Amino acid sequence: MRQNTQNDFLPSDYEAPKGNSNYLRLEKGENRFRILSKPILGWEDWENKKPLRFRRDAKPEKPIDPQKAIKHFWAFIVFNYFKNEIQIMEITQKSIQGAIEQLSKDSDWGSPFTYDIKIIRGGDGMETEYTINPVPHKPVAAEVLEAFRNKPCHLEALYLGDDPWDMTKSGNQRTPLNDMNL
């Protein structure tokens, strides 16, 4: 039997293509974004690998899958600097929610509409840790505002299990840019 010490199955410089996503996924290392809309808040359950989202005042009594807890979520529109695009960020991690809430209540930082946020993700699996750092206040860049105008989103569609980027559905209204971002 021939033994090959070199992997000749794939080219040595091969990297699997990364698909585009309309959702910000926290990558290992630094993730920088600007929050552009007010969040929608609620509860997230899962059925057949599909998220089911409920409004804040409509938490289900028990999860569909008893092995998975129902989680409190925040979802808002962000500009992801790493991808250079508008995305939805959904947060279910209590540590991240708590840090952003504390920043929003801090008299030196205030509303997160007026500064960028960096989340540094370290570790893996159950050992994953997040460090949240605000970036000094500055106005939203013109290209970020332009990107927001060019990619309408209807966050409330998440409650219905619909695509929030599909603006053709009856009643879908663009989620507004927060006034503090102007």
38, amino acid identity: K
Would 23 be classed as within a structural domain?
no
Would 92 be classed as within a structural domain?
yes
Residue partners of 109: CB distance under 8 A and separation at least 6: 103, 115, 134
Which residue in 132, 177, 156 sits closest to 42, CA to CA? 156
Would 114 be classed as within a structural domain?
yes
Burial of 80 (0-12, 13-18, 19+ CB in 10 A): buried
Query: For residues 113 and 181, what is the distance between their CA atoms, to the nearest angstrom?
Result: 6
Would 5 be classed as within a structural domain?
no
161, amino acid identity: G
Would 140 be classed as within a structural domain?
yes
* 129-134/29-35 β-pairing: unpaired
Give how far Cα 25 sits from Cα of 2, 31, 87, Å.
42, 9, 9
Per-residue tokens: 146: 């332009």
Query: For residues 87 and 71, what is the distance between their CA atoms, to the nearest angstrom?
Result: 21
Section 146-162 average pLDDT: 96
Q: What does the pLDDT look like over 163-179, one tens digit per residue? A: 999 998 877 799 999 88
Q: What does the pLDDT look like over 14-42, one tens digit per residue? A: 565 555 689 999 999 999 999 999 999 99
Torsion sign (Cα): 112, 178, 83, 19: positive
Structural domain span for residue 45: 29-175
Would 8 be classed as within a structural domain?
no
Q: What does the pLDDT look like over 68-99, one tens digit per residue? A: 999 999 999 999 999 999 999 999 999 999 99
- The pTM (predicted TM-score) of the whole model is 0.86
Domain count, the chain: 1
Section 125-135 average pLDDT: 94
Q: How many CA atoms lie within 13 A of 42 on its CB side?
A: 19
> Buried (b) or exposed (e) across 95-115, using 16+ Cβ within 10 A?
ebbebbeebeeeeebeebbbb
Would 87 be classed as within a structural domain?
yes
Would 182 be classed as within a structural domain?
no
